[in-house]
Amino acid sequence: MFSKILIANRGEIACRVIRTARRLGIRTVAVHSEADAQALHVRMADEAVPIGPAPARESYLRGAAILDAARLTGAEAVHPGYGFLSENAGFAEACGQAGIRFIGPPPAAIRAMGGKSEAKALMEAAGVPLVPGYHGADQDPGLLLAEARRIGFPVLVKASAGGGGKGMRVVTAEDQFADQLAGAKREAASSFGDDRVLLEKYLTRPRHVEIQVFADGHGNCVYLFERDCSIQRRHQKVVEEAPAPRLEPGTRARMGAAAVAAARAIGYEGAGTVEFLLDEDGSFYFMEMNTRLQVEHPVTEMITGQDLVEWQLRVAAGGPLPLAQEDLAIDGHAIEVRLYAEDPQRDFLPQTGRLDHLAFPAAGPHVRVDTGVRSGDRISIHYDPMIAKLIVWDRDRPSAVRRLRGALAETQVAGLATNAGFLSAIAGSRAFMEAELDTRFIERNEAELLPDAAPVPPEGLALAALGVLLDRAARARTLAATSGDPYSPWARSDGWRLNDDAHDTLVFRDGGEERSVPLVYRRDGYQLQVGGRQLLARGELGPDGTLDAELDGMRLRATLVLRGAEVSVFVRGVMHRVQLVDALAGADAAEAGAGKLTAPMPGKVIAVLVEPGALVAKGQALVVLEAMKMEHTIKAPADGTVELVRYAVGDQVEDGAELIGFKAGEA
Ligand code: ADP
């Protein structure tokens, strides 16, 4: 076995490989870009080597820099993870030349499966079933059209060099063929620098079922059953599970045998995945082979009890496969979901920024969380926006689905929009419970899975208000304690006011709507008016954001994350997100017509940003007030002119005091 390996990757897969290596007593070397200097995989590894700036092509894709790092640290082998250099035959070859073991298949096997067309020709010869289609070298448009006719519409045009669903077009009728072909070729050329295409019969209701294979250097090759990855968005996997629901044992055995034949045909070694389309009638067709470990490999580990990275390491070190085919069996059911920083409400736009708060369910025999980030880390534009994979296991599928719902309910991410709600909607859907799986699952159930953003319910709004109030009270106490005047009225959290007014209003923005929560400070809590109803809210807010709340006597525990104006509340497995609207900015808009901007609560002027006569634009900051130990900026409600400035920095102002005389419109 190796004594030290280098992981040529980042994120969750790097962390995952390090964990197995550590368990086997193998030392680990991380490589990292400048952006990842503090990343979890770097922290976890025994040694770390910087390999360049943030963009992947200047760091994680620089094979030469990675090999230098391996030489420098004396690593005997390189684990490529997935993505980046994992299917780069040139890199695998360079490793060999440098005397460093590439933990993956021989370069020739990577090349054999590199192009879809070439791979198909090889598979055809090995007797592996293919989707009826055309994958010849002749790319004459007339010939392609004739082939499409022979196959019969609908036909799928695919980039030979494709991946990630790019360069793929469904052609439903002959008169669209020329246009769609041109589109696929354009996309293929720009994405892969290769515009060759192949044609396939387009199956209207297929499932994506893939077989995990493993081969060693001693002539052994086994399959570790299948994964159903039918739940996809734009041909990208979202949910994966093993075993595939309702797969006939006979079909499983035939698919397994076909996958092993595929691996043997190309002299495979290590972990690989043979992807098939499974048609409604039980026929299956080879799609492609991924010559690496897959993102979704954990579901296979959960149902077989095997550690596939350990298998990879043993095989790469020259050992035999740990088990023979007859020793492998399926135990229970596992499901994985991919948690992404992306916004389902905005067409799944990837999100970047800081993970202000991150919490996952506790790991155990039923739940596994693979992640490469912690609270406070950033999701950057440079890499894949995956935050984590949640994997659950149980005796049978219905129990595993329940575990999945529970695990998602305990997953909390604040700071960035994520697909967590979308994943929960899938997990909670009837179609998923009943395993109505095929590759158009999401498309078909879209209305249910992507409802229009619903308003935050009264309970969520009440908790947000309570959280903000408790946080303010805690700050006031801290400040008073450190100001040397613990008896200052500011230290009171019961809404005491200079003008003895115990009323207040919190205004939140919820999507496009503003929602006010009028409130009264009481000895025993806060009387909130939410959704037309009065309720008494009280509770305690822990320093970690734990909010033990009581709403009209009902106790519940939530988690509160406050970051600037952003308020996120996690309760009962759901996140509610609102923005606290600057109270004074709200007030001035309402009073714009009256020609004066007033202070709705007592405070102290801490900045005056304009002079009388100034022409200002709508939204421009005019005065900053400190009230309740929070800063409030008073902004121009419209384009206009400042006519009067009544106070100077340091002045105390009363509730309702006119701060600025303002005239809207052209001067
Ligand atoms: P890529 O390499 O770009 O990911 P694949 O060939 O692996 O492309 O196909 C990706 C997905 O596209 C499959 O999982 C399946 O959902 C769909 N697909 C591919 N080929 C067909 C086909 N012939 N008929 C219907 N759907 C297909």
What pLDDT, on the 0 to 100 scale, is given for residue 666?
Answer: 61
Beta-strand pair 386-394/367-371: antiparallel
Mean pLDDT, residues 299-313 taken together: 98
On whether both 308 and 268 belong to a single domain, the answer is yes
Closest residue by Cα to residue 33 from 52, 47, 57, 13? 52
Using a 6 Å CB cutoff, which residues line ligand 1?
131, 156, 158, 162-166, 200-203, 206, 208, 232, 235, 275, 277, 287-288, 439
Does residue 628 register a pLDDT over 70? no
Does 553 lie in the same domain as 498?
Answer: yes
367 pLDDT band, cuts 50/70/90, is: very high
Instruction: Check whether residue 338 and residue 421 sit in a common domain.
Output: yes
Contact yes or no for 192/165 (Cβ under 8 A): no
**25: CATH:** 3.40.50.20
Q: Are residues 576 and 462 in the same domain?
A: yes
Residue nearest to atom 14 of ligand 1 (CA): 208
Ligand 1 centroid – CA 565 distance (Å): 43
Q: Whose CA is nearest to atom 9 of ligand 1?
A: 165
Any bridge partners for residue 340, and if so which?
Answer: 386
pLDDT at 594: 44
Q: Report the CATH number that the domain containing residue 603 is assigned in CATH.
A: 2.40.50.100
Q: Concatenate the DSSP letters of all residues of 449-478 into one string.
A: HSPPPPPPPHHHHHHHHHHHHHHHHHHHHH
The mean pLDDT of 248-277, rounded to a whole number, is 97
Q: Which atom of ligand 1 is nearest to the CA of 200?
A: 23
336, 326: one domain: no
Residue numbers annotated as active site: 292
Residue for token pair 């709507």? 513
What is the C-alpha to C-alpha distance for residues 263 and 265, in angstroms, rounded to an integer?
5
Q: How far is the CA of 163 from the centre of ligand 1 (A)?
A: 9
CA-to-CA distance for 125 and 419, rounded, in angstroms?
Answer: 42
* Ligand 1 mean position, distance from CA 276 (Å): 9
Tokens coding 245 = 């629901």
The pLDDT score that the predictor gives to residue 502 is 77
DSSP, res 554: E
Closest by CA position to 41, among listed 17, 21, 62: 17
Distance CA 257, CA 246 (A): 19
**Structural domain span for residue 164:** 132-201
- Cα separation, 195 vs 199, in Å, equals 13
The one-letter amino acid code at 29 reads V
Contacts of 512 (CB under 8 A, 6+ apart): none
What is the percent of the chain with per-residue pLDDT over 70, rounded to a whole number?
Answer: 94
Which tens digit of pLDDT belongs to each residue from 21-67? 999 999 999 999 999 999 999 999 999 999 999 999 999 999 999 99
Which tokens go with 105?
């298949």
Mean pLDDT of 407-414: 96
- Give, to the nearest 10 degrees, the angle between helix 89-97 and helix 63-73: 30
> For position 180, which CATH number holds?
3.30.1490.20
| 110 inside domain | no
pLDDT, average across residues 232-247: 95
* Stated pTM of the model: 0.83
* Mean pLDDT of the residues in the chain: 91
Specify whether 208 is located in the same domain as 322: yes
Any domain includes 182: yes
What is the spatial distance between Cα 169 and Cα 47, in angstroms, rounded to a whole number? 46
Full DSSP string of 403-464 = HHHHHHHT-EEESS--SHHHHHHHHH-HHHHTT--STTHHHHTHHHHSPPPPPPPHHHHHHH
Q: How far is the CA of 165 from the centre of ligand 1 (A)?
A: 7
Residues 371 and 420 in one domain: yes
> Contact, 455 vs 512, CB < 8 A?
no
| Same domain membership, residue 576 and residue 519 | yes
Pinpoint the alpha helices (H) of 204-326.
249-265, 297-304, 308-316
- Which pLDDT tens digit goes with each residue over 414-430? 999 999 999 999 999 99
Looking at residue 341, its pLDDT comes to 95
